[in-house]
Structure 1
Amino acid sequence: MTTVTSADGTEIAYDSAGIGPALVLVDGAMCYRAAGPMRPLAALLTSAFTVLTYDRRGRGESGDTQPYAAEREVEDLQAVMRAAGGRAALYAMSSGGALALATAAADPGVTGLVLYEPPFLGGDKEYTARLGELLAAGRRGDAVELFMTTVGVPAPVIAGMRGGPGWSTLEAIAPTLAYDDTLLGDGRVPGELPVSVPMLVVSGTASPAAMQQAAQATAAAFPTAEHRSLAGQTHDVQPDALAPIMIDFLLG
């Protein structure tokens, strides 16, 4: 593990492995290097890229300087890119797609984008308000449960998780749920962003229709973007299904 210092002094932890052009993997909500989909995916990409995985602020081994602003997360990602030489492609999962798009709009060092099911679903003001209330009251476990319920995790599964040993880890990063909500804004595709690098937006044919439609709408909003469907994949996409199309798109 290595750290890089972001513009506001926050230490951001990252790992780097592989050979080739730089590729930074950007997690979605509730994930970080040690808990989420990026390490298995990185293992399949290191033969083609120098792959950087990092802990977004407030997660894992990264710091969390307050107050939060979406611009600070963009600066964090830019700092990781600088550690890779200043130029990198970005792969982003779910709500990490909003961060990747904002960074591509702000930094000419972004060479390409691959987004998997960015959840531009129109926003949910009730969720935003309730999440803020729970976090302000220190009810982190309830905030995690609210998020999981909102994304469709069945109640019995959540109840089982709350009694498990990993729940405290989820509670520790619960405040970052508000960060992702902030990045997603009003929930609309940010088609006004000046993003002109090659972009691939991917969705799974077994994902909910709304997620597939959001991916298609994201691709349609940017002139350099294309959409691709992965047969049989859900929002929990399998690395061996995703890695080959990433390599083909970014290096082809």
Structure 2
Amino acid sequence: MTETVEGAGVALAADPRGAGPTVLLVHDLAADTRAWEPLVAALGDGVRTLAYDRRGYGASGAPEPYERTTVQEQAEDARAVLGALGGADPLAVGAGFGALIVLDLLVRLPGLLRGAVLIEPPAYQFSDAATAVLSEQRSLLEAALRDGGPASAVEAWRPGADAAVRAAHRAFFADFGGLASWPVTRRELRAVAVPVALVTGSATPPHLVETTDALAALIPAARRTADGEALAALQALL
């Protein structure tokens, strides 16, 4: 049953399921809670999963107008979900932009999470190739926006995105602008003391492999996997 949680000034729709150790699930940009359905099903009822629609996506609210966000603002939403619905010693899984949100929780709020799985974290400040990639992505989005409107831009970013995801284009563009909003330092990352699994797969773009490798080298208790198996990485932490 969907629960409503008051985030950092917005109402967030959360979907808690199961019973047992708590796992917070934080989705990428151009996505919503449905992205976690395969993982939730694979975990079964013995784990309490907390998937939620980030602000502007799915059934969650957003400010008016909604044009900008930051990683820290998003992390405060995640913290609110955990505070309202989470159990003791939660884990977290973040994909893409969601991985940065989980990382911010690890850095700013030590002790909140007992571990995390980060899937393709776009920590672009640690990639020499990221600047060129971001420039190409902006050009792609600008062309799609000009030719087909904001929903087409979301489709250009995530081919096959359904109508609900395309309709969340305000959240998508706020997220895209927020990708570069996380001013973490190497010292802060070296202070993360809990186990962190960093996951990429065979289809992960090279610049995201680079960012993931960099984070794995900085976080003391990091475990790096390149087989795309987020489920196995999470099960190792449960």
When the two structures are superposed, what TM-score results if normalisation uses the length of structure 1? Answer: 0.75
Letter in 1 for 2:169: A
How far the C-alpha of 1:119 sits from its partner, in A, is: 2.9
In structure 1, distance between residues paired with 2:137 and 2:46: 40
Of the three residues 172, 177, 182, the one matched with 1:177 is 172
Matched AA of 1:91: V
Residue of structure 2 aligned with 1:58, choices 56, 59, 64? 56
Aligned Cα root-mean-square deviation (Å) = 3.1
1:93 matched residue in structure 2: 95
1:1-252 matched pairs, under 5 angstroms: 1-8=2-9, 10-34=10-34, 36=35, 38-66=36-64, 68-70=68-70, 71-82=72-83, 83-85=85-87, 87-107=89-109, 108-121=111-124, 122-123=130-131, 124-125=134-135, 127-128=137-138, 131=141, 139-148=149-158, 167-185=162-180, 191-194=186-189, 195-230=192-227, 233=228, 241-248=229-236, 250-251=237-238
Deviating more after overlay: 93-102 vs 54-63: 93-102
For residue 146 of structure 1, report the CA deviation from its aligned partner: 4.2
Which one-letter code corresponds to 2:101 in the other structure?
L
> 1:138, 1:103 → 2: CA distance?
37
Partner amino acid, structure 1, of 2:195: P
**2-structure distance, mates of 1:110, 1:61:** 26
Q: Following TM superposition, by how much is the alpha carbon of 1:31 offset from its aligned partner in structure 2, in angstroms?
A: 0.9
Q: How many residues align?
A: 223
CA 1:103–1:29 in structure 2 vs 1: closer, same or farther (change >3 Å)? Answer: same
- Give the drift of 1:213: 2.9
Unpaired runs of at least 5, structure 1: 149-157, 234-240
Distance 1:208 1:129, change over 3 A: closer
Shift of 1:57: 0.5
SS at match of 1:62: coil
Seen in structure 2, the aligned counterparts of structure 1 residues 135 and 65 have a Cα distance that, compared at 3 Å, is farther
CA distance in 1, matches of 2:184, 2:202: 20
Measure the CA separation in 2 of the matches of 1:136 and 1:86. Answer: 48
Cα 1:43/1:211, change in 2 over 3 Å: same
Q: Give the fraction of aligned pairs with identical amino acids, expressed as a percent.
A: 27
How much has 1:81 moved relative to structure 2?
A: 0.7
CA distance in 2, matches of 1:187, 1:109: 19
Partner Cα distance (1:134, 1:206) in 2: 23
Once the two structures are TM-superposed, the CA of residue 178 in structure 1 deviates from its matched residue by: 2.5
Structure 1 SS opposite 2:55: coil
1:191, 1:87 → 2: CA distance?
25
In the TM superposition, structure 1's runs of 4+ consecutive aligned residues that sit over 4 Å from their partners are 128-138, 186-190
Question: Whose helix fraction is larger, Structure 1's or Structure 2's?
Answer: 2
Q: Using the alignment, how far apart are the partners of 1:138 and 1:58 within structure 2?
A: 21
1:174 Cα offset (Å): 1.3
What one-letter code is carried by the residue in structure 1 that aligns with 2:96? S
Provide Cα deviations, 1:81-103, integer angstroms capped at 9, x if missing partner: 11214642110112211111112
For the residues of structure 1 that align with 2:199 and 2:75, how far apart are their CA atoms?
A: 22
Q: Letter of the aligned partner of 1:94 in structure 2?
A: G
CA distance in 2, matches of 1:229, 1:141: 32
CA deviation after TM superposition for structure 1 residue 14, in Å: 0.7
Cα deviation, 1:132-170, whole Å, max 9, x if unaligned, reads 89879993123224424xxxxxxxxx5xx5xxxx75323
Distance 2:123 2:223 in 1: 16
